[in-house]
Chain A
Amino acid sequence: MGLIQKIKEGLFRYQEADHGYIARFSDVHKFLKAVENARDAGVKELDTFTPFPIHGLEKAMGIKRSWINFWTLVFGLCGVTAAFSFMVFVDVFNWPMNIGGKPHFAWPAYIPISFELTVLFGGLGTVGALIYLGRLGKINRPLPARGVTSDTMALWVGDNIGKEKFDSIVAGLADETFEIQQGENE
C-alpha cells in the first residue's frame, strides 16, 4: 500500500454513529470482548465510545495506528523551512546589516528561532490534524449513548448487519442495547 493511500485511509475513517445499534457496558472486560466479537464477525461500520482511552482498544477494534505524527513532521518541516528561509531572506538579501562584524549569513544564530517555529508549527499542525481527523468542532453532535463521557462504554454497529447478528455479538456482555434511527438520539 502506498503512502498516499495509507494517509487517505487514516483520513476518512471517522463515521458518525447516527443510525444502527448501540450496546452499553459498565465493565471494561466485557466491553473489550464485545468489540473483539464485532471485529471477528467482520463488521465494517463499527465504532466505540469511551470516557477514557483504553489500552488495547485499537487492536480490539481492528483499526490501524494513528498517522497523526506524519502531520507533526510535515508541519514541523514547514516551520523550520519558513523560519530559516525568512531569516536568510532578511539578513542576506532584503536588509543586510553589519552587526558587530558578524557575517550576514550567520546560520548558528538562526537555530533558536528555527527550532521554536518547528515546535510551534508542528504542535499547532498536530492539533489541527486531530480536529480534522477526529471530526472535532461539530459542537452539536448528539451523544450516542448516555454516560459515554462519564462511566459507560458503548459499542456502535451500523444497521446493515441486522439485529440478530448484533445480538449475537453482544450476547451476555452488554448492560443494555438499543437501536437508533437517522436523526434521533437518546
Chain B
Amino acid sequence: MSVEAAKNPYSVGKSYSQIDDDILKPVESFPTKLWYIAISITGSLALMMFIMIGYSFYKGLGILGINNPVGWGFYIVNFVFWIGIGHAGTLISAILYLFRQRWRTTINRAAEAMTIFAVMTAGLFPVIHVGRPWFIFWPLPYPNERGPLWVNFKSPLLWDVFAISTYFTISLVFWYMGLVPDLAMMRDRVERMQASSPIGRFLLSMKKVVIRALALGWVGSGRTWTHYEKMVLMLAALATPLVLSVHTIVSFDFATSVIPGWHSTIFPPYFVDGAIYSGFAMVLTLMIITREVFKLKEYITLKHLENMGKVILVTGLIVSMAYTTEFIMAAYSGAKYEQYVFLNRLKGPYAWAFWTMFACNVVSPHFMWFKKLRTNVKFLFFISIVVNIGMWFERFVIIITSLHRDYLPSSWDMYVPTVFDYGILIGSFGFFFTLYLIFVRMLPSIAIAEVKADEASDHLAKGMGH
C-alpha cells in the first residue's frame, strides 16, 4: 500500500481480482459447520413461528394476549420494531451516499439486504393481525362488484399500506440494481466452472441459467455506467425522503388517534430517530458476526464499527431528548389524562418495562463517548444487543401502557402475553436471521464494484500527484 493510499482509512489496498476472491469466498466455497448450525437454529425458530401463525388462523386471535382495552399487543410492537430496523439500511445506502460518506461502501450491501428482510418480517404482522388474513387484499383500492366501494384514503392505516409496500419495492429494486455489476462478475466466474458428477453438472447448469438471467446481460459499457450512476443517485434521492416518510406514517397510526400518550406531534421525528438508532444497532450486530465468520475484517474494519458506534451515540442522545420532551410536554399540557399516562409509565404496573427501556436506550449509548469502548468489538456487540432490547421495549411501553388504562377505570385491564405471543416474537428473529444467512451464502455481502471503484479512485488520485 502506498503512502498516499494509506492516508485513506477505508482503503483496502488489494488487487481487483483479490477483492473478488475474498468477498466471494463464502459464496463459492462449501458452507461451514457454523453456518449449518446457525441456520438450523434460526430455521427451526422460523418454522415454529409459522406453525403458531397457522394455529392462530385455525383458532383465531383469542389465543393471543390481546384483550378489550389492549387491542394492539406484541404483533404491533413487533411490526413497529422490525420496520424501524430496516431504516438503518436505507440510511446507509441512500443518505450516506448523498453525503458522500465513503465508509458506507463495504457495509451498504448487507445493510440494504437487512432492510429488505426486516420489512418482510414486519410485513407479516399486520397480515396475521387482521383476524381474517385471507382478506388482506382489502386495503388495496381495487375495482370491485360491491357498488362504488373504496378504501378510506383519509386513514393513516391505509397510508401505512402504501408507505410500506413502496418502501419494500424501492428498497428491493435499489438493492438489486446495486447487485447487477457484481452478479455479472459472478456470472463470468460461474461460466468458467466445471463439475465432475452428473448432479453437479446439472446444478451448475441451473446456476448458470439463473445467474445469467439475474445479471441482465451486464457487460459494464461506459454508456450504461453513465446512466447507472445517475440512476443510483436518483434512487438515493428518492429513498431519502421515503425512509423518513415510512416511520413518520407509522407514527401517524398512533399520533392521529386521541389516546393519551399517543396523541403527540413529537411522534414523527421521535419514531424516525428511534428507527435509525435500533437499525444501526442491528447493522452492528450483523456486521460483527459477518466479519468474524466470513473473515472480512480487512473490508469491514474497526473504523467502520467505530463510526456505527458514533451514529448510535448521536441517535441515542436524540431518543433521550425525545423521551424528556414527552414528559415535559405532558407536565406542561395541563391535561390530566396525558399526565396520568406518563406517571403510570414511571410508576404503574408496567414500570419495569419503562425502566428497562430507559436503562437500555438512555444510559447505554453514553458508553460510546469513550474511544476505548467504541473500538472494543465485544463491547460493541453487547451494546448493539442492549440497544435493540431497549428499542423493542420502547414500542412495548408506547403501545401497551397507553392502552391498558384508558379514560374509563372500569375498563382497565392488564396485558398478559401468551406463549403464542412470545413464540411468534422469537420466531420473527429466526425468520429474519434465516433470510440473512441465506443471503450471505448466495450473494456477495459487500458491494464489490463499489469497493473496486474506491480503490481505483485512490489510485487515480495518487497518479495526479506525479
Contacts and interface: CB of A to CB of B under 8 A. Distances in A.
A72 B238 contact: yes
B216 A131 contact: yes
Interface centre among A68, A117, A123, A129 (most CB of B within 10 A): A123
Interface centre among B156, B188, B463 (most CB of A within 10 A): B188
Interface in B215-241: 215-231, 233-235, 238-239, 241
Contact of A49 (B20, B148, B221, B252): B221
Interface string B414-447: 0000000000000000000000000000000000
Contacts of A127: 173, 177, 231, 235
Contacts of B224: 14, 130, 133-136
B230 A109 contact: no
A81 interface: no
A66 B229 contact: yes
In this complex, the interface size class of chain A, counting residues with CB under 8 Å from chain B, is 35 or more
A129 B177 CA distance: 12
A85 B149 CA distance: 17
B450 interface: yes
B212 interface: yes
Contacts of B149: 95
B222 A48 contact: yes
A52 B452 contact: yes
Nearest to B15: A151
B47 interface: no
A138 B303 CA distance: 41
A53 B70 CA distance: 54
B243 to A, nearest CB: 10
Nearest to B213: A139
B185 A29 contact: no
A53 B153 contact: no
B234 A116 contact: no
Interface in B66-91: none
B217 A54 contact: no
A13 interface: yes
Contacts of A99: 152, 154
A140 interface: yes
Given A14-B224, A90-B153, A117-B166, A55 B15 contact: no
Contact of A51 (B16, B216, B229): B16
A19 to B, nearest CB: 15
A29 B159 CA distance: 51
Describe B's contact surface by its main secondary structure.
helix
Given A68-B234, A149-B184, A133 B219 contact: no
Contacts of B17: 150-151
A69 interface: yes
B181 interface: yes
Interface in B187-214: 187-189, 212-213
Contacts of B156: 112
Interface stretch (B25-33, B55-63, B274-282, B453-461): B453-461
A141 B221 CA distance: 12
Contact of B453 (A53, A94, A120): A53
Given A66-B226, A115-B245, A136-B218, A86 B238 contact: no
Contacts of B187: 149
Interface centre among B20, B170, B225, B229 (most CB of A within 10 A): B225
Nearest to A73: B234
Given A106-B154, A119-B241, A149 B188 contact: yes
A35 to B, nearest CB: 8
A162 to B, nearest CB: 22
A143 to B, nearest CB: 6
A105 to B, nearest CB: 11
B162 interface: yes
Interface string A10-22: 0001100100000
Contact of B219 (A49, A53, A61): A49
Interface in A76-128: 76, 86-87, 90-91, 94-95, 97, 99, 102, 106, 109-110, 112-113, 115-117, 119-120, 122-124, 126-127
A158 interface: no
A139 B217 contact: yes
Nearest to B163: A116
Contact of A47 (B154, B218, B223, B453): B223
7 contacts: A54-B456, A90-B141, A106-B154, A112-B156, A119-B245, A123-B169, A136-B217
Interface of A: 13-14, 17, 28-29, 32, 47-58, 61, 63, 65-66, 68-69, 72, 76, 86-87, 90-91, 94-95, 97, 99, 102, 106, 109-110, 112-113, 115-117, 119-120, 122-124, 126-127, 129-131, 133-141, 143-144, 147-151
Interface of B: 15-17, 20, 141, 148-150, 152-154, 156, 158-159, 162-163, 166, 169-170, 173-174, 177, 180-181, 184-185, 187-189, 212-213, 215-231, 233-235, 238-239, 241-242, 245, 249, 252, 449-450, 452-453, 456-457, 459-460, 463
